[in-house]
C-alpha cells in the first residue's frame, strides 16, 4: 500500500508544474522498485490549445533516453563474444575509420584535419571519449555544422561523418558516439537497429509502445513538442511523423512511453531480468554500472543554441562520472539519491534516475525546448525528493 502522503505530494508536484507560471503543457512521472511501479501520474495536456489530456500511456520523443537502450544492445553482443569493446570500432563500422581530427580552420574558414593518433573503440563511443560532440553544446561542432549546406535532416549518415574534436580517448565530450555505436551493433548483428531492439530488448521487457517509427496507435497518443519563449509562454511545434530514416540513430531517435521506460529501468534494478525474459547477465549489469572514466570527470554542457538547450549540469558542484550506459553521481545528491546511482536525460526535458543500491527508479517525461527548462527540472527534482522522503517513511 503506497503511503497516502507520498501520493498526495507527488500528485501535487505534477499539478503545480502544469498550472504555475511558467508552466509545462503536460507531464508524466513514474517511480517503482524491483517489483513494479508504486506511482504512475499524469497531468496537463498533450498539446496546449487542445483538449486531449496527458495520460500515462502518452507517447514521447525520448531523445537521449535512447542511449542506454543502444548500450544494452551492445552489451548483449559483448556477452555473446561478438563485440570486443576495446577493438577498433572500424572492425564493425568501417566508415568510422575515415574520420579525422580537427586541428583548426584555415584562412578561408575550411577545416584543417589530420589523422587521429589512435583508433576509436566501441568503449570510447559508449563513454563519450571518442572525440564527438553536439552542435548545440559545442561551439566548434556548431561551426562545422554551419559549413554543411544544406544542413542534413535527422536520420542521415552524413550527420555522423564529422571531424573529431580531439584524439580518441583524451577527454570526455558528450556527443554522437552512441549513434556510431548503433552502427557497430548493426554491423555485427546484420540487422537494422529497430529489429535488434525489438527482438532482443523490447519483447523480453514487454516494451510494446517503443520504437523508431510511430504506429497509428502511438501517433494517436503522441505528446507535442513545445518551445519555451522568452516570456515563459509555450508555443506548440508542428512536426511530421518520422519517415523511414537512412540511419536509426542509437543516440536519440526512439519514441515511447514512460511505462515502457520504467520496464527498461526495472530490468537494470533486477540484474538484467525483464518481465518476459532475461536481457543481460547479472555480471554484465554490474560491470556496465561502474565508472568507466577512471579519474576523468564529466563536465557541464554549455549552451551554444538557446532555442534547444540551456546550460546543462546535474547537481552543480558535485562530482559526476560515466559508465558504459549512464551518468554516475559520485556523491549523495540533495534529492536523496545515494552516491553511485545512475541516470541521464533527453533533450526534450525527459529525466530519469536508477538507484540499484536502494532498488528504486523513476522517470519524468515532458516535451519542451530548451533542455534544462527550469520548470521541468524543478518538478523532476521535487518528484525525486518526494520519492525518497516517502521511502524513508516506508511508502
Question: Which residues partner with 342 through β-bridges?
Answer: 328, 354
Question: Which residues partner with 312 through β-bridges?
Answer: 301
In which region does residue 130 sit, left (phi positive, over 0), alpha (psi from -120 to 50) or beta (all else)? alpha
Max Cα distance, the chain (Å): 68
Per annotation, catalytic residue among 67, 248, 321, 352: 67
In the residue annotation, 174 being an active-site residue is answered as yes
Per annotation, catalytic residue among 39, 92, 134, 174: 174
E strands, 36-179, are 37-44, 60-61, 101-105, 111-114
Helix, strand or coil, per DSSP, at residue 32: strand
Per annotation, catalytic residue among 64, 321, 323, 376: 64
Q: Give the separation between CA 209 and CA 218, rounded to whole angstroms.
A: 7
Name the residue with cell 547477465.
281
Q: Give the separation between CA 354 and CA 346, rounded to whole angstroms.
A: 15
In the residue annotation, 134 being an active-site residue is answered as no
Per the CB < 8 A criterion, the answer to whether 342 and 356 are in contact is yes
> Which residues are designated catalytic?
64, 67, 174
Amino acid at each position: 500500500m503506497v503511503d497516502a502522503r507520498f501520493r498526495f505530494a507527488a500528485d501535487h508536484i505534477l499539478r503545480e508544474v502544469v498550472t504555475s507560471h511558467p508552466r509545462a503543457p503536460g507531464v508524466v512521472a513514474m517511480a517503482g522498485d524491483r517489483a513494479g511501479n508504486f506511482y504512475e501520474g499524469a497531468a496537463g495536456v498533450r498539446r496546449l490549445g487542445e483538449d486531449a489530456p496527458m495520460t500515462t500511456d502518452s507517447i514521447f520523443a525520448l531523445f537521449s533516453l535512447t542511449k542506454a537502450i543502444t548500450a544494452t544492445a551492445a552489451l548483449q553482443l559483448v556477452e555473446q563474444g561478438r563485440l570486443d569493446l576495446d577493438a577498433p570500432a572500424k572492425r564493425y563500422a568501417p566508415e568510422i575509420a575515415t574520420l579525422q581530427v580537427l586541428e583548426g580552420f584555415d584562412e578561408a574558414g575550411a577545416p584543417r584535419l589530420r589523422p587521429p593518433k589512435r583508433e576509436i573503440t566501441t568503449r570510447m563511443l559508449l563513454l563519450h571519449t571518442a572525440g564527438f560532440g553536439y552542435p548545440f553544446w559545442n561551439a566548434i561542432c556548431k561551426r562545422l555544422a554551419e559549413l554543411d549546406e544544406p544542413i542534413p535532416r535527422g536520420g542521415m549518415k552524413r550527420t555522423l561523418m564529422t571531424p573529431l574534436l580531439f584524439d580518441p580517448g583524451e577527454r570526455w565530450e558528450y556527443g554522437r558516439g552512441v549513434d556510431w555505436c548503433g552502427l557497430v551493433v548493426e554491423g555485427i548483428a546484420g540487422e537494422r537497429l529497430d529489429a535488434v531492439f525489438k527482438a532482443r530488448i523490447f519483447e523480453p521487457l514487454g516494451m510494446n509502445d517503443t520504437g523508431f517509427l510511430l504506429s497509428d496507435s502511438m501517433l494517436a497518443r503522441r505528446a507535442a513538442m513545445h518551445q519555451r519563449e522568452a516570456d515563459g509562454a509555450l508555443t506548440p511545434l508542428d512536426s511530421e511523423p518520422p519517415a523511414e530514416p537512412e540511419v536509426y540513430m542509437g543516440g536519440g531517435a526512439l519514441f515511447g512511453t514512460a511505462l515502457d521506460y520504467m520496464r527498461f529501468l526495472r530490468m537494470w534494478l533486477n540484474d538484467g531480468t525483464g518481465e518476459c525474459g532475461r536481457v543481460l547477465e547479472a555480471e554484465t549489469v554490474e560491470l556496465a554500472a561502474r565508472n568507466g572514466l577512471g579519474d576523468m570527470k564529466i563536465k557541464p554542457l554549455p549552451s551554444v543554441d538557446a532555442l534547444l538547450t540551456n546550460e546543462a549540469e546535474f547537481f552543480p558542484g558535485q562530482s559526476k562520472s560515466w559508465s558504459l550506459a549512464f551518468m554516475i553521481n559520485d556523491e549523495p545528491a540533495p534529492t536523496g539519491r545515494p552516491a553511485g546511482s545512475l541516470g541521464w536525460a533527453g533533450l526534450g526535458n525527459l529525466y530519469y534516475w536508477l538507484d540499484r543500491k536502494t532498488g528504486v527508479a523513476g522517470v519524468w517525461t515532458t516535451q519542451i525546448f530548451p533542455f534544462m527548462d527550469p520548470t521541468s527540472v524543478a518538478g523532476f527534482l521535487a518528484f525525486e525528493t518526494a520519492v525518497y522522503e516517502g521511502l524513508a517513511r516506508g511508502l
